[in-house]
């Protein structure tokens, strides 16, 4: 996974029903390979997944370093999650993550607005973190906002 050549998967992509998981696995693989570019594993976004599952980010990184595929990593996560979640809990959490907007505090809203303004001053349809990250990934690799 070389994130200097292409972005990680969208946080909208699911693995085992989990939003964020494929993206954080891509970032982890790239970090291990030394090709993460501007992407960071265990960033605040990734930490939402770790908090929800109770999986330790360093333990997961050690499993990723073994060269396991997504399916094998999902099995490991299921077996090692501190918080065992039902499919409906995972679905609800993933829906929330995919549609999460910036918190109403000024700092978070300001960060979101600044990031968006750096990408586009005309895109009024960008309202969620997923929207913003998808746009950022697109623009970073040559797309026009």
Measuring CA to CA, which residue among 31, 29, 24 is closest to residue 55? 24
pLDDT at site 46: 96
Measuring CA to CA, which residue among 123, 141, 143 is closest to residue 132? 123
Q: 108: how many CB neighbours lie within 10 A of its CB?
A: 13
pLDDT at site 126: 96
pLDDT at site 108: 87
pLDDT at site 104: 78
Give the Cα separation of 18 and 75 in Å (integer): 13
Give this prediction's pTM.
Answer: 0.92
pLDDT at site 4: 96
pLDDT at site 85: 95
Distances in Å between the Cα of 71 and the Cα atoms of 12, 33, 76, 137, 142 are 18, 20, 9, 25, 31
- Tens of pLDDT along the chain (145 residues) come to 899 999 999 999 999 999 999 999 999 999 999 999 999 999 999 999 999 999 999 999 999 999 999 999 999 999 999 999 999 999 999 999 999 999 877 788 899 999 999 999 999 999 999 999 999 999 999 998 8
């Amino acid at each position: 996974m070389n994130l200097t050549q292409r972005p990680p998967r969208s946080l909208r992509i699911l693995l085992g029903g989990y939003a964020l998981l494929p993206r954080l696995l891509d970032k982890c693989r790239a970090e291990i390979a030394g090709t993460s570019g501007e992407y960071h594993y265990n960033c605040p976004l990734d930490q939402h997944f770790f908090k929800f599952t109770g999986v330790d980010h360093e333990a997961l990184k050690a499993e990723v370093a073994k060269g396991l595929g997504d399916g094998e990593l999902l099995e490991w996560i299921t077996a090692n999650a501190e918080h065992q979640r039902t499919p409906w809990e995972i679905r609800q959490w993933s829906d929330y993550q995919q549609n999460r907007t910036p918190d109403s505090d000024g700092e978070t809203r300001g960060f979101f607005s600044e990031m968006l303004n750096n990408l586009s001053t005309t895109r009024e349809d960008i309202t969620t973190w997923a929207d913003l990250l998808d746009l950022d990934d697109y623009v970073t690799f040559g797309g026009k906002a």
